[in-house]
Amino acid sequence: MKEFIDNFEQLELGTILLKPQLAKYTTYRVGGIADCMVFPKNVDALVKTCRLIKKYQLPYKVLGKGSNTLFSDRPYHGVIIKLDAFDEAVFYENKVRVGAGFPLIRLASLAAKHALTGLEFASGIPGTVGGAIFMNAGAYKSDMGYIVQSVKVLTPDFKVITLTNQELRFHYRTSFLQTHPKYICIEAILKLHKGKKSAIESVMRERRERRLETQPLEYPSAGSVFRNPKEDLPAGKIIEELGLKGFKKGGAQVSKKHANFIINKNHATASDIHDLILFVQKEVEEKYHITLKVEQEFVNWE
Ligand SMILES: Cc1cc2nc3c(=O)[nH]c(=O)nc-3n(C[C@H](O)[C@H](O)[C@H](O)COP(=O)(O)OP(=O)(O)OC[C@H]3O[C@@H](n4cnc5c(N)ncnc54)[C@H](O)[C@@H]3O)c2cc1C
């Protein structure tokens, strides 16, 4: 690790943080300490960073806003790559070319200002563009797959290539990036449509209000824990029917407002949240014979 850090600094590839607390970089506000976190300053620096990681055979993880990630409490002996410097959004025609580190909520607001429709669904999803493409994030019967035209990625053999929408194989909460986690999303071109600014803003306002009413946004969480087993069968409904709303493990609780959210109610550890997720999954399996699939990603658990 020391050689990697020395090289990263000598080559001036960007900012580096030593021993960052991952709890500060995830929306659950939990997670252990990583050996280091790097912020490559551009694509060339990202390529060099990845070459160094390969050279020294280090574990690594790309992290967006950490709004779909549950790190364990253990130290992470590897490199966390953050693409915060990839934060450009250029609007042209009905499209936007946007960096992987750009926050999705801000992008949705910008699109509305440009009177472009298509990103309204994203106005309450607190991730980055890269994380949203990885997850095929979505809501209100729409998702990234509907608007992504193409994505520039760094391949595991350090080539920068462009993948088309079809090649990205978007399906419900998954994409090519999820099945090929060694690819890193650098930027995307999203194709939107001309709309009426006031109408777009009004839809976004309405949905924001609905989220405030129905989701426990006052507590740290990572959104929906489980995928819906069927389109017309929300995971939250099953969990609620089991009477698990309000159920706690340590500082983690199944939200009383929305049963598919687990919240960090009171200084929860990652283990509290993990235990609660597995407990709910087991209860549903035993009582309903349905295996709920966890939507969030567990990192650094064994
Ligand atoms: C309050 C709340 C509400 C939410 N509502 C929704 C919702 O309505 N719909 C929905 O779909 N999700 C929702 N989410 C979940 C989450 O915001 C999304 O899944 C989001 O897309 C995750 O983005 P991120 O940048 O935070 O990803 P992270 O959690 O940082 O990362 C997720 C995965 O993506 C990978 N990744 C991140 N960036 C890149 C990149 N550049 N290249 C390659 N891989 C990358 C990471 O390695 C990781 O495997 C919600 C979360 C919260 C906290």
In-domain check, residue 157: yes
In-domain check, residue 209: no
In-domain check, residue 130: yes
In-domain check, residue 205: no
Contact 239 CB / ligand 1 (< 6 Å) = no
The set of residues, in sequence order, having a beta carbon less than 8 Å from that of 269 and lying 6+ positions away, is 30, 73, 250, 251
The DSSP-derived string for 170-204 is -BTTB-HHHH-TT-EEEEEEEE-EE--HHHHHHHH
- Do 100 and 72 share a domain, yes or no? no
- Do 21 and 108 share a domain, yes or no? no
In the listed set 172, 200, 228, which residue is the last one of a domain according to the structure? 200
Q: What is the chain's mean pLDDT, rounded? A: 97
Domain count, the chain: 3
Active-site choice (29, 120, 150, 173): 173
Contact 177 CB / ligand 1 (< 6 Å) = yes
Q: Please say if 142 is a catalytic residue.
A: no
- Do 110 and 158 share a domain, yes or no? yes
- Do 125 and 168 share a domain, yes or no? yes
- Do 95 and 157 share a domain, yes or no? yes
Please compute the mean of the pLDDT values over residues 175-186 and round it to a whole number. Answer: 97
Contact 149 CB / ligand 1 (< 6 Å) = no
Q: What are phi and psi of 193, to 5 degrees?
A: -130, 150
CATH number at residue 105: 3.30.465.10
* pLDDT, position 265: 98
CA distance 194 to 90: 16
Ligand 1 centre from 161 Cα, in Å? 22
CATH number at residue 240: 3.90.78.10
Active-site choice (67, 175, 224, 255): 224
- Do 193 and 101 share a domain, yes or no? yes
Domain that holds residue 193: 89-200
Q: What are phi and psi of 174, to 5 degrees?
A: -155, 165
Q: What are phi and psi of 140, to 5 degrees?
A: 50, 45
pTM for the model: 0.96
* pLDDT, position 302: 83
- Do 105 and 128 share a domain, yes or no? yes
- Do 114 and 181 share a domain, yes or no? yes
Which residue's C-alpha comes closest to atom 28 of ligand 1? 66
In-domain check, residue 161: yes
- Do 188 and 149 share a domain, yes or no? yes
Q: Please say if 213 is a catalytic residue.
A: no
- Do 99 and 130 share a domain, yes or no? yes
Span 148-170, pLDDT tens digits: 999 999 999 999 999 999 999 99
In-domain check, residue 211: no
CATH number at residue 17: 3.30.43.10
The band of 295, judged by pLDDT with boundaries at 50, 70 and 90, is very high
Span 26-81, pLDDT tens digits: 999 999 999 999 999 999 999 999 999 999 999 999 999 999 999 999 999 999 99
Ligand 1 centre from 243 Cα, in Å? 28
In-domain check, residue 112: yes
- Do 228 and 270 share a domain, yes or no? yes
Span 216-243, pLDDT tens digits: 999 999 999 999 998 889 999 999 999 9
In-domain check, residue 180: yes
Name the CA dihedral angle for 32, 38, 43, 44, rounded to a multiple of 10 degrees: -140
Which parts of 56-125 fold into alpha helices (H)?
104-113
Q: Please say if 224 is a catalytic residue.
A: yes
